[in-house]
A and B are shown apart, each in its own frame.
Chain A
Amino acid sequence: MKLSVKRTRSLAAVLAAAMLLALTACGSQNDGQGPSESTVSSVAEQDGGSQSAAEDSADDAAEQDGGQEETDSTSVTVTDMVGREITLDEPATRVVALTPSDCEILYAIGAGDTLVGRGTYCDYPAEVSDVPAVDSGSETNIEQILALKPQVLLMSTMSQTEEQAKQLEEAGVHVVISDAQDIEGVYTAIEMIGALMGKDQEAADVVGSMRSSFAEIEEKSAGDGSKTVYFEVSPLEYGLWAAGSNTFMDEVANMMGLTNCFADLDGWASVSEEQVLERNPDYIVTITMYYGEGPLPEEEIMARPGWENVTAVKNKAILNLQNNELSRPAPRLAEGAKMLFDFVYGSE
């Protein structure tokens, strides 16, 4: 299974680059949304319709389902991250998650056993590879998903098209969309998925632990923004890409008093090699995968001709985050931040 893990990572990196770009482009869409509330309501049956439908149909729903108890507290209503309201009779037990981060969240809140299908690029935690894989993105195969008979399909805004979502809804699958663009958004996604799975407490715990580890990092960090860090998301061989502002990496760097040296760019962007040398970062973080052949990503950077004058290369201050710790909107962001903190300020 080693091969598939590898391939998913590099694919995920490429996809994530595309997604981040596209997400930042339509970022305003989510503005002012705030955290989605999850409510336990008495509306027993209502397919994920629009918000207005939800408002005026409480009575209708009660009428339709006259036979059922009105105090049924097992039904779950969540508002997903593009503002659609989804109601389930009971917390979901059969879920397909197409986005790696949603898979990670499911496992983190202890709902990994509900996963009946996963997107091809989901690779964490390791046991997710035992779950049947379905194609995602432009290759999404609706039949493949329906065959798994999920109650809920978790996906992100960019991985699927609206038509595909509609098709799935018509086939009776509740489509829930996650769309985290910053750490606060990740909390929202975790709480939303927690509510969906009836694991509110577990979700709250995960969010709480993330919050406290970020708070600890922020408190302990002595940086005053004078040190710069360069996040390399694609190595020189395939054209340099750096993480700019509005990325998780940027957010984490700011948290610990580091300045992202490409903060003037938005999202992930291809950058010129000259600019990296000119901006002379104090630290380099690369998320390049290591395929088990050739030099390690850190070594490759240190061996680049002309880079010997870069402070980070001189001080060998290069960190390789191999496993998407800082590129996915998932609970592991806290781990990634801790790794970066230890790297910059030394572990105690």
Chain B
Amino acid sequence: MKTRKERFRALEYLFFSALTVAVFCLCVCIGSVNIPLGKTLSVFRDALSSIIQRCLFRSSAAFPEGTDVSILLTVRLPRVLCVAITGAALSLVGAAMQGLLKNPLADGSTLGVSSGAALGAVVAIAFGITFPALPFAGTMVMAILFAFLSLLIILGLTARLDRSLSTNTIILIGVIYSMFVSSLMSIVITFAADRVQHITFWTMGSLQGKGYPDAAILFGALLVFGGVILFHQRELNAFAVGEENARHIGVNVRRVKLTLLIAVSGLVGVCVSVGGSIGFVGLVTPHMLRMLTGPNHRRLLPASLFGGACFLMLADLVARILLNPRELNIGIVTSLTGAVVFVCIFYRTRRGK
């Protein structure tokens, strides 16, 4: 009975799902091109009914056509989907890493994992690394691999300096590692400058022009790696108290840690290979949500999923419409709002103490 209280309650699930759906609808309805709400709804209704008729009755019901349909169904909807899933994934990763490393500043971007993943993607592009079986997965596999290696390097270096993996050491190593990676990136650029446009893309991050296949890949990654993370909520709670404590209550520390690190790198790698490195999402959303749910990972992790999706969708909305018809880079919006929000939270919690 005791554990029930710790869980994410049905009501909370309902609230967060409703919030996410609401934000999702908002982001699909508003965009660079202003399409009236009625029109938007009718496009979706027609598309849905046509799909249903095709699937159920095998009839060749006409799929709606026109510029509005293209904008809504092939440009805006898949993009918002990708953004939502990326946000959920990055935020989940942030929450998990913060718990695993007992470090409130841990996140894919602060530890240099996403820059590592970006470097992997860049190396794959610059040197034309592809896998015969999966010609398009070259960047993705390299991104995941580099994300994992980065994490190992950072943690390895930290462990040598400081067995307890303390906050300051880990962040310091992370910062140094990020700089190191960015200089490596420059070296790759000098060797493969004909691809510089591709390379800058990975460092900036954007989900413009993403389609349903990308959304499917992201969703698959979230399902697999996110599932692994969510499956380890209890262990994360134990880690948050301390590794020793975790060991005492029967957690296989080594195995769990490795599993989680792989899951985290996998998720970061896939996100980066699709949308480039988008900073601050994994750092800020778990912090905001922790104020709402408390530190228990059984509540924090599900909340991070929804909260991250909402945060990134809203950031993307701002990126899309703020300077209309120009487009801002989503990374700029997340870093800008993220930094401000983070400072606010930091001050509030410090003052609270």
Contacts and interface: CB of A to CB of B under 8 A. Distances in A.
Interface of A: 3-4, 6-11, 13-14, 234, 236-240, 262, 264-265, 269-275, 277-278, 280, 289, 291, 304-309
A278 B76 CA distance: 13
Contact of A6 (B71, B194, B325): B194
B194 A236 contact: no
A317 to B, nearest CB: 17
A262 B65 CA distance: 25
Contacts of A240: 208-209, 327
B67 interface: yes
A272 B324 contact: yes
B126 to A, nearest CB: 11
Task: Specify which of B69, B195, B206, B326 lies most central, judged by the most chain A CB atoms within 10 Å of its CB.
Answer: B326
B73 interface: yes
28 contacts: A7-B196, A9-B194, A10-B194, A10-B197, A13-B197, A14-B200, A234-B197, A237-B209, A238-B198, A239-B208, A239-B209, A240-B208, A265-B326, A270-B326, A271-B326, A272-B208, A272-B327, A273-B209, A274-B71, A277-B70, A277-B71, A280-B67, A306-B70, A306-B74, A307-B70, A308-B70, A309-B65, A309-B66
B75 A306 contact: yes
Contacts of A238: 197-198, 200-201, 206
Given A7-B193, A240-B209, A274 B75 contact: yes
Nearest to B73: A306
Contacts of B320: 272, 274
A33 to B, nearest CB: 30
Contacts of A7: 192-196
A264 B328 CA distance: 17
A277 B33 contact: yes
A274 B197 contact: no
A275 B325 contact: yes
Q: 4 tightest CB-CB pairs across the interface, nearest first?
A: A306-B74, A7-B194, A272-B32, A306-B70
B328 to A, nearest CB: 8
A330 to B, nearest CB: 21
B127 to A, nearest CB: 13
Given A270-B326, A272-B327, A309-B66, A278 B196 contact: no
A164 B8 CA distance: 62
Contact of B33 (A3, A237, A275, A304): A275
A305 B74 contact: yes
Contact of B325 (A272, A280, A289, A306): A272
B196 A236 contact: no
Contacts of A291: 194-195
B87 interface: no
B31 interface: yes
Nearest to B321: A272
Given A11-B194, A270-B327, A278-B67, 11 more contacts: A6-B194, A11-B193, A237-B198, A239-B208, A239-B329, A262-B325, A269-B326, A270-B328, A272-B33, A272-B208, A277-B67
A309 to B, nearest CB: 5
Contact of B208 (A9, A236, A264, A265): A236
A270 B192 CA distance: 24
A11 B194 CA distance: 7
B211 interface: yes
Interface string B38-74: 0000000000000000000000000001110111011
Given A14-B200, A234-B197, A238-B198, A274 B76 contact: yes
Nearest to B66: A309
A9 B204 CA distance: 21
A80 B302 CA distance: 64
Contacts of A3: 194
Task: Specify which of A272, A280, A289 lies most central, judged by the most chain B CB atoms within 10 Å of its CB.
Answer: A272
Contacts of B198: 237-238
A14 B200 CA distance: 10
A290 B323 CA distance: 30
A308 B65 CA distance: 10
Given A11-B193, A265-B326, A275 B32 contact: yes
A278 B211 CA distance: 18
A236 to B, nearest CB: 4
A306 B65 CA distance: 10
Contacts of A308: 70
Contacts of B327: 239-240, 270-272
A105 B195 CA distance: 27
Task: Specify which of B73, B74, B211, B320 lies most central, judged by the most chain A CB atoms within 10 Å of its CB.
Answer: B74
Nearest to A278: B33
Contacts of B33: 272, 274-275, 277-278
Nearest to A2: B194
A238 B198 CA distance: 7
A182 to B, nearest CB: 22
A274 B194 contact: no
A309 B193 contact: no
A271 to B, nearest CB: 6
A236 B209 contact: yes
B309 to A, nearest CB: 21
B70 A309 contact: yes
A247 to B, nearest CB: 15
Contacts of B71: 274, 277-278, 306
B121 to A, nearest CB: 13
Contacts of B326: 265, 269-272
B321 to A, nearest CB: 8
A166 B311 CA distance: 49
A246 to B, nearest CB: 15
